């Protein structure tokens, strides 16, 4: 050590730097975690929306079925009349609107090609396309099929009016409104089996309701 000179001992600390592979690995991990987090968020949102906007259950049942006496007509015509109730299973949150309803009578044992007769809907309560609030009385749907009691129709009718009954198929297009938010339209199709059509009178009024099941 020479006089007049100051010696300084400098120690250099080396900080390890991340390699390219480490940086790439860290970036990949972030992408994976971000993707998983986003998936969980989207899944949670879908579950919440499904719970909030899920449709209510609609129950259909026939409360009245009757026929006119063909002997009372001059042209051999007969009407098969139906009153169908549709009950909204939601008591608190879902209002329902019936956009269209179709009713068909089916006879699978008909020997002719015709095994279905359409029964046009002529009255609904409330009117079609009006929202029925939750907890309200069931909607009432009235339909009637016009038959000729001879020829092909006679084969279709057979003994089903009073003996074995028809299958009644109800097809409805409905939309729900939950907390003011309308849902998409839903197709509902149910079958009501062994429906008899006694001649209008006391016997037709005593018939119990017939529950309909998913078709």
- Under 8 Å between Cβ of 84 and 143: yes
Residue 128, judged by CB atoms within 10 A of its CB (0-12, 13-18, 19+), counts as middle
Per cent of the chain over pLDDT 70 is 60
pLDDT at 142: 97
> Sign of the C-alpha dihedral, residues 20, 22, 27, 32?
positive
Instruction: Say whether both 44 and 69 belong to one domain.
Output: no
Q: Are residues 47 and 128 in the same domain?
A: no
**In-domain check, residue 131:** yes
Within-domain flag for 3: no
Question: Who's near 174: CB < 8 A, 6+ residues apart?
Answer: 55, 58, 96, 97, 98, 99, 185, 186, 188
Q: What is the CATH number of the domain that holds 157?
A: 2.60.40
20 or 29, which is more confident? 29
Same domain, 46 and 139: no
Q: Is residue 184 part of a domain?
A: yes
139 and 205 share a domain? Answer: yes
- pLDDT tens digits, residue range 156-213? 565 555 556 888 999 999 999 888 888 889 999 999 988 888 888 766 566 788 999 9
Are residues 159 and 204 part of one domain? Answer: yes
Last-in-domain residue among 53, 73, 98: 53
Report yes or no on whether pTM surpasses 0.75. no
pLDDT at 11 over 90: no
Q: Is residue 5 part of a domain?
A: no
Residue 52 in 3-state DSSP? helix
Q: Residue 47 pLDDT > 50, yes or no? A: no
pLDDT (0 to 100) of residue 32: 63
Q: Which whole number is the average pLDDT over 34-41?
A: 59
- Could you give the number of structural domains in the chain? 2
Segment of 45-49, 99-103, 107-111 carrying the highest mean pLDDT: 99-103
Within a domain: 2: no
d(CA 103, CA 189): 10
- Among candidates 51, 29, 53, 49, which has minimal Cα distance to 41? 49
Q: By residue range, what is the domain housing residue 41?
A: 17-53
Dihedrals phi, psi of 52, to nearest 5 degrees: -75, -40
The span from the CA of 79 to the CA of 118, in Å, is 12
Q: How confident is the model at residue 124 (pLDDT cuts 50, 70, 90)?
A: very high
Looking at the domain assignment, is residue 41 inside a domain? Answer: yes
């Amino acid at each position: 050590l020479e006089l007049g000179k100051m010696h300084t001992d400098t120690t250099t600390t080396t900080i390890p730097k991340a390699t390219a592979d480490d940086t790439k690995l860290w970036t990949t991990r972030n992408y994976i975690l971000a993707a998983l987090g986003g998936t969980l968020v989207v899944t949670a949102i879908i579950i919440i929306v499904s719970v909030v906007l899920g449709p209510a259950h609609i129950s259909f049942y026939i409360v009245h079925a009757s026929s006119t006496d063909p002997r009372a007509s001059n042209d051999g015509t007969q009407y098969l009349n139906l009153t169908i109730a549709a009950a909204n299973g939601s008591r608190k949150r879902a209002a329902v609107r019936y956009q269209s309803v179709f009713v068909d009578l089916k006879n699978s044992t008909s020997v002719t090609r015709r095994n279905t007769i359409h029964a046009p809907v002529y009255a609904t309560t409330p009117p079609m396309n009006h929202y029925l609030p939750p907890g309200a009385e069931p909607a009432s749907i009235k339909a009637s099929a016009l038959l000729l009691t001879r020829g092909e129709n006679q084969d279709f009718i057979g003994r089903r009016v009073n003996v074995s009954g028809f299958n009644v198929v109800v097809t409805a297009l409905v939309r729900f409104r939950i907390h003011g938010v309308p849902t998409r339209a839903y197709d509902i199709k149910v079958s009501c089996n062994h429906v008899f059509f006694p001649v209008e009178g006391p016997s037709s009024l005593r018939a119990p309701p017939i529950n309909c099941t998913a078709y």
